[in-house]
Chain A
Amino acid sequence: MKELNELILPEDVKFTDEHEWARVEGDHVRVGISDYAQDQLGDVVFVELPEVGSSFNKGDEFGTVESVKTVSEIYMPVSGEVVAINEELADHPEYVNTDPYGKGWMIEVAPSDLSEMDSLLDKNAYLKLLEEE
């Protein structure tokens, strides 16, 4: 397991206290799980994602991520409609481990209220949360 100072925590994303990240990209928000989350899970073997077109509220479960012996639910950082999912994860679930903020992204959302981003944690607040865990 990584020590806290080994974790990659980019400045351009925001975090939830359930360890998802969200990044504003144009009109949309891209979502994945944090470096901390992937490290805790271990080798990711499967990611279950919703259908494009489905809508969720902030905090709703939208999928699950599985390692060999655990399964974790993943929750919406913001409300909105899923406009794209990362199809590549079906064949390459390991991207969640190797590149959690890049090739390991999970869904893209058309947010219904972009101001919900403001309620998420920035890098420092997230790091503080991790220190407490």
Chain B
Amino acid sequence: MKEPIGTTGLALNEPLIWEKGRKGRTGFSLPKRDVEHAPLDEALTGDGPDLPDLSEVDVVRHYTRLSQWNYGVDSGMYPLGSCTMKYNPKTHERQAALPGFASAHPLLPASLSQGILRMMATLQRFLGEITGLPAVTLQPAAGAHGELTGMMIVRAYHNDRGAPRHKILIPDTAHGTNPASSVLCGFSPVPVKSNERGVLAPETVAELMDEDTAGIMITNPNTLGLFEENIRKIADIVHGKGGLVYVDGANMNAMMGIVSMGNIGVDLMHLNLHKTFSTPHGGGGPGSGPVCARQDLAPFLPVPRVKEKDGTFHLSYDHPKSIGKVHAFYGNVGILIRAYSYILSMGPNLKKASQLAVLNANYVKEKLKDTFYLPYDRPCMHECVFTDKWQEAHKITTLDIAKRLIDYGFHPPTIYFPLVVHGAIMIEPTETESKETLDTFIASCKAIAEEAKESPELLREAPTKPKVRRMDETRAARHPQLAG
């Protein structure tokens, strides 16, 4: 390969922020005092928190230097499986920052907030169209929050029929949030094993499904990047026993315009707007996890719901069967604005995005399958899963490979997930990576696999190019130091 894209450059040291500053500096333009000081009972007042006093320059330098120690999608390819780290369009930041949106108070009367209400109603319609599930709530603030909301809806649905249920089927390939969310709703998760093809077999589901089981939570495509090909039969089995089919839509980026979830037996699902709909991950949030459901589940959605009447929009609270509220207000509206902008910019091209996401994943899979062991050699969807099996002989692990990729200038893939694959390396390139970027990534992986044989120390010592090297995580966990 050509010279790797990973190199070293000047990074600047920067202390903890309270190690900087001088008492009496300020980084804030305080408004002029135009009212008199009003005393407050001294028994109530304290000394105020111990914060450093800094100038604006101190603050700007501090965070600029910190930012330079980070790797983002804007830095380079970020093939983190199941996370859909696609490009975050710049225009979205402009839209969300418009003062009409950014400064809007959530308790404005409807007559003074038509713009946002209209946006929300339209986004609900778009998401309903994309999933084939027309009853939509935008309230959940993240994917796991959407799952929790979805499970509450499932619970409310069964209770409303006068027959509460207590179990929920969850495949062994599921994200950890699935069992955790269902437990919060009082369900006991029942694990379902996937078959030798890496998908769920209808017989396995039929054996476990009974009349105390509320339904099944399926990730489709699953976390091995495979389409759950038996989904229709599974849905029939679950519906036959009165259960509901919930889909974790974390992997919806493979499905837009390709599969309508509402048409294949899915009753409700959540979307991750910060994955499929290109809103930035923000270093771990804020995200947004709308839930889309069959129309007859609409009465159970959280309140308030955005409703239209004669061309004007309002928030409606009068839904007695609703599960209640999961967010103080209406969800992460700032994120909804970005996803809405994305859908308006893409239109029907969303299908093209899914096609290219799947093309990119299959291209990487094909080009690397002689380099890393591929446990399921079948056409994949938007991501593919390799393992470190062939590198084990050299005592090289998935972790070493991931860390060495950093030196080559790439963010590592998701590692050691899904749990059903030992030493998993889960690669999701996304559609916004070009062929030449993929080719450089592939060449880097091949070079690393060679190094694993020839000079494994390079991998064990990696990374060497970032500002810091591998961290002592044992020390951090044994003697937690969580504040300075």
Q: Counting CB contacts under 8 A, is A93 at the interface? A: yes
Q: Counting CB contacts under 8 A, is B477 at the interface? A: yes
Against B, the Cβ 8 Å flags (1 = close, 0 = not) of A97-126 are 000000000000000000000000000000
Would you list 14 pairs from A and B whose C-beta atoms are within 8 A, ordered by A residue? A43-B474, A43-B478, A45-B474, A45-B477, A45-B478, A46-B477, A46-B478, A66-B477, A68-B473, A68-B474, A68-B477, A69-B416, A93-B478, A94-B478
Against B, the Cβ 8 Å flags (1 = close, 0 = not) of A61-73 are 0000010110000
Against B, the Cβ 8 Å flags (1 = close, 0 = not) of A22-47 are 00000000000000000000010110
- For B474, the chain A residues whose CB sits under 8 A away are 43, 45, 68
Interface size bucket, B side? Answer: under 10
- For A93, the chain B residues whose CB sits under 8 A away are 478
- For A46, the chain B residues whose CB sits under 8 A away are 477-478
The majority secondary structure among interface residues of chain A is loop
Q: How far is the CB of B189 from chain A (nearest CB, A)?
A: 16
Q: How far is the CB of B123 from chain A (nearest CB, A)?
A: 38
Interfacial residues, chain A to chain B (CB-CB below 8 A): 43, 45-46, 66, 68-69, 93-94
A9 CA to B477 CA, complexed, in Å: 28
A43 CA to B473 CA, complexed, in Å: 10
- For A68, the chain B residues whose CB sits under 8 A away are 473-474, 477
A66 CA to B478 CA, complexed, in Å: 10
- For B416, the chain A residues whose CB sits under 8 A away are 69
A45 CA to B473 CA, complexed, in Å: 10
- For B478, the chain A residues whose CB sits under 8 A away are 43, 45-46, 93-94
A43 CA to B477 CA, complexed, in Å: 10
Q: How far is the CB of B98 from chain A (nearest CB, A)?
A: 43
Within 8 A of A (CB), among B439-482: 473-474, 477-478
Q: Which residue of A lies closest to B474 (CB)?
A: A43
Q: How far is the CB of B416 from chain A (nearest CB, A)?
A: 8
Q: How far is the CB of B449 from chain A (nearest CB, A)?
A: 23
User: Which of B416, B473, B477 counts the most A-chain CB atoms under 10 A from its CB?
Assistant: B477
Q: How far is the CB of A95 from chain B (nearest CB, A)?
A: 11
A45 CA to B478 CA, complexed, in Å: 5
Q: Which residue of A lies closest to B479 (CB)?
A: A91
Q: How far is the CB of B256 from chain A (nearest CB, A)?
A: 34
Q: How far is the CB of B110 from chain A (nearest CB, A)?
A: 48
Q: How far is the CB of B188 from chain A (nearest CB, A)?
A: 16
Q: How far is the CB of B79 from chain A (nearest CB, A)?
A: 21
Q: Which residue of B lies closest to A43 (CB)?
A: B474
A66 CA to B473 CA, complexed, in Å: 13
A46 CA to B473 CA, complexed, in Å: 13
Q: Which residue of B lies closest to A42 (CB)?
A: B474
Q: How far is the CB of B114 from chain A (nearest CB, A)?
A: 49
A69 CA to B474 CA, complexed, in Å: 10
The 9 closest A-B pairs by CB, nearest first: A45-B477, A43-B474, A68-B473, A45-B478, A68-B477, A68-B474, A93-B478, A45-B474, A46-B477
Q: How far is the CB of B307 from chain A (nearest CB, A)?
A: 46
Q: Which residue of A lies closest to B477 (CB)?
A: A45
A127 CA to B478 CA, complexed, in Å: 31
Q: How far is the CB of A47 from chain B (nearest CB, A)?
A: 11
Q: How far is the CB of B433 from chain A (nearest CB, A)?
A: 29
A68 CA to B416 CA, complexed, in Å: 14
Q: How far is the CB of A107 from chain B (nearest CB, A)?
A: 20
Q: Which residue of B lies closest to A93 (CB)?
A: B478
Q: Which residue of B lies closest to A68 (CB)?
A: B473
Q: How far is the CB of B205 from chain A (nearest CB, A)?
A: 27
- For A69, the chain B residues whose CB sits under 8 A away are 416
Q: How far is the CB of B395 from chain A (nearest CB, A)?
A: 10
Q: How far is the CB of A68 from chain B (nearest CB, A)?
A: 5
| Beyond A43-B474, A46-B477, A46-B478, 10 extra complex contacts between A and B, CB < 8 Å | A43-B478, A45-B474, A45-B477, A45-B478, A66-B477, A68-B473, A68-B474, A69-B416, A93-B478, A94-B478
Within 8 A of A (CB), among B401-426: 416
Q: How far is the CB of A40 from chain B (nearest CB, A)?
A: 13
A94 CA to B477 CA, complexed, in Å: 11
Q: How far is the CB of A35 from chain B (nearest CB, A)?
A: 18
A43 CA to B474 CA, complexed, in Å: 7
- For A66, the chain B residues whose CB sits under 8 A away are 477
- For A94, the chain B residues whose CB sits under 8 A away are 478
Q: How far is the CB of A65 from chain B (nearest CB, A)?
A: 12
- For B473, the chain A residues whose CB sits under 8 A away are 68
A43 CA to B475 CA, complexed, in Å: 10
A46 CA to B478 CA, complexed, in Å: 7
A6 CA to B473 CA, complexed, in Å: 26
- For B477, the chain A residues whose CB sits under 8 A away are 45-46, 66, 68
Q: Which residue of A lies closest to B478 (CB)?
A: A45
A22 CA to B477 CA, complexed, in Å: 28
A93 CA to B475 CA, complexed, in Å: 11
User: Which of A43, A69, A94 counts the most B-chain CB atoms under 10 A from its CB?
Assistant: A43
A53 CA to B424 CA, complexed, in Å: 43
Q: How far is the CB of A111 from chain B (nearest CB, A)?
A: 32
A69 CA to B478 CA, complexed, in Å: 12
Q: How far is the CB of B278 from chain A (nearest CB, A)?
A: 30
A68 CA to B473 CA, complexed, in Å: 7
- For A45, the chain B residues whose CB sits under 8 A away are 474, 477-478
A94 CA to B478 CA, complexed, in Å: 9
